[in-house]
Amino acid sequence: MARAVTTQKKAIYTVAAWGIGLLIFFPILWTFLTSFKTEGTAVADPPVFLFFDWTTDNYTVVQERSNYMRYLWNSVVIAGGSTLLGVIIAVPAAWSMAFVPGNRTKDILLWMLSTKMLPAVGVLYPIYIVLIRLGVLDTKGALIVVVMMINLPIIIWMLYTYFKEIPVDILEAARMDGASLRNEIIHVLTPMAIPGIASTILLNVILAWNEAFWTLNLTADDAAPLTAFIASYSSPEGLFYAKLSAASTMAIAPILILGWFSQKQLVRGLTFGAVK
């Protein structure tokens, strides 16, 4: 029997939820507002929130100074390519962990999780040397592989969780009907786990899009994504906050729009199997 929730508790929960949401959203709002200020207004003390002379000059300067579309395309290729490659590798791996008995799944999952605890700078030097020796430093292909490897444990963990919610009897029935392993994964398992796969793809696109450490250290110009685009506005002469905010707004706008339009699918996938 469901526990009754009083009107007072509902009001408290609602206010708390809105408060936390506004607290999380405030840095994005402040960055957006600062992008329309002059440099003098951006560093004013006390800070100016809404009542200032709005200008779009910062966006004009950013467009003239930087090739925004090239950075955007690099981000799209790296985020999309690394996520797609990760899913292709993770689906069979998660299937094996979820449905093949006696494969020490918990130990493997914990080992994969432990790799996320390793400081990224600890493996930067060997990866950097390997990419130089292979002649692929500052290429989109190399970044796709590196970012995929960084996020692969998360992809496998998420897919494993979704696959475990699928009744194994359905897969056994497909095998009895003569389905091969390939057909079982592609035509039976994958369609049933589409909500989970979709949410995994969305979440990992966001993680890859926001990846800064590897993209800043393994690129110079040719494969530089939007993280490098933002960093280029931090110069020895100082920080130009208004222009930096304009560049940041242009960099986060595509992923915010993607998240806004796909929020229902993301929530559906993240709660897949939570309620039985």
Residue 76's CATH number: 1.10.3720.10
Report yes or no on 198 lying in a domain.
yes
Q: Which of 37-51, 96-110, 136-150, 188-202 has the lowest mean pLDDT?
A: 96-110
Which of 226, 228, 231 shows the shortest CA–CA distance to 218? 228
Report yes or no on 20 lying in a domain.
no
Say which residue, 5 or 15, is predicted with more confidence.
Answer: 15
When pLDDT is averaged across residues 200-211 and rounded to a whole number, the result is 90
DSSP single-letter state for residue 44 = -
Q: What is the pLDDT of residues 15-59, one digit of tens each?
A: 999 999 899 889 889 999 999 998 888 888 888 888 888 888 889
Report the C-alpha gap between 181 and 33 in whole angstroms.
54
Q: Which of 62-76, 149-163, 184-198 has the lowest mean pLDDT?
A: 184-198
Report yes or no on 107 lying in a domain.
yes
Q: Is the pLDDT of residue 101 over 80?
A: no
Report yes or no on 36 lying in a domain.
no
Q: Is the pLDDT of residue 116 over 90?
A: no
Mean pLDDT of the chain: 85
pTM of the model: 0.84
Report yes or no on 109 lying in a domain.
yes
Report yes or no on 26 lying in a domain.
no
Q: Is the pLDDT of residue 1 over 50?
A: no
Say which residue, 115 or 132, is predicted with more confidence.
Answer: 132
Confidence band for 79, pLDDT divided at 50, 70 and 90: very high
Structural domains of the chain, count: 1
What is the crossing angle of helices 7-34 and 241-261, to 10°? 130
Q: Which of 38-47, 187-196, 230-239 has the lowest mean pLDDT?
A: 230-239
Range of 134's domain? 66-232
pLDDT for 276 equals: 44
Q: Is the pLDDT of residue 235 over 70?
A: no
For the beta carbon of residue 17, count every other beta carbon within 10 angstroms.
10
Confidence band for 4, pLDDT divided at 50, 70 and 90: low
Q: Is the pLDDT of residue 275 over 50?
A: no
Report yes or no on 167 lying in a domain.
yes
Report yes or no on 114 lying in a domain.
yes
